[in-house]
């Protein structure tokens, strides 16, 4: 297990509704110290966070979070606002009701529009795997690939379950080779994170991995 590789793949995350700026600031400092991939924070803190870190850390934020049933117009406005405030990575939640209704064209159009806004910013599409059948997951792998998103993200961490090894295997088998997988939700051990990475995940979304890894690194 390579702790530094895990940290470099980690979106150090704090999305708790009552999170304060002092907590966000602490998260940003940890993410910079341990060379994380990004800090994933609520949209309301993006501008302040970008001012705090400068070019030393990509700031990631969430759109349509955590339920995904906002209108496309509201998601587009939120995305544009986040990008203007300096976000360099966007994690958007799809509309799960549209999945269940088979409205695949609606889902693809929404992702396409947000992808167009993102330009050079990374786009991660959150599909909430715990709510999907395998057939739906496979269909979404094709849509996310065709839309040119940078990552398919498994989970918000706010639903009934998070990433599983079976989901990572299934997604990697059906997702385009140039699209990354972000495993997130319920990842509380370094061993789980490493397992997901060995199965094909290229990003890990988690709130506690940095502190766990830091304990080991400080003992070296």
User: Where in the sequence numbering do the catalytic residues fall?
Assistant: 91, 153, 182
Q: Mention every residue, 6+ apart, whose C-beta is less than 8 A from residue 44.
A: none
79 close to 118: Cβ distance less than 8 angstroms? yes
As to burial, measured by CB atoms within 10 angstroms (0-12 exposed, 13-18 middle, 19+ buried), residue 160 is exposed
- 16-19 long-range contacts (CB < 8 A, ≥24 apart) are 19/45
Strands 59-63 and 10-13: unpaired
């Amino acid at each position: 297990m390579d702790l530094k590789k895990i940290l470099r793949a980690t979106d150090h995350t704090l999305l708790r509704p009552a999170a304060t700026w002092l907590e966000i600031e602490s998260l940003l400092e940890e993410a910079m110290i341990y060379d994380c991939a990004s800090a994933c924070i609520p949209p309301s803190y993006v501008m302040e966070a970008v001012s705090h870190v400068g070019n030393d850390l990509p700031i990631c934020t969430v759109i349509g979070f955590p339920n995904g049933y906002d209108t496309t117009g509201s998601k587009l406005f939120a995305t544009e606002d986040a990008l203007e405030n300096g976000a360099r990575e966007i994690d958007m939640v799809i509309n799960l009701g549209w999945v269940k209704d088979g409205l695949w064209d609606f889902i693809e159009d929404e992702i396409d529009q947000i992808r167009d806004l993102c330009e050079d910013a990374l786009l991660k599409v959150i599909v909430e795997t715990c709510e999907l059948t395998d057939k739906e997951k496979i269909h979404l792998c094709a849509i996310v690939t065709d839309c040119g998103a940078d990552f398919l993200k498994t989970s918000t961490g706010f639903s009934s379950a998070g990433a599983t090894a079976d989901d990572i295997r299934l997604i990697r088998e059906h997702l385009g080779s140039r699209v990354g997988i972000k495993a997130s939700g319920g990842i509380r051990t370094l061993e789980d994170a490493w397992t997901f990475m060995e199965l094909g995940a290229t990003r890990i979304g988690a709130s506690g991995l940095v502190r766990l890894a830091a304990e080991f690194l400080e003992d070296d």
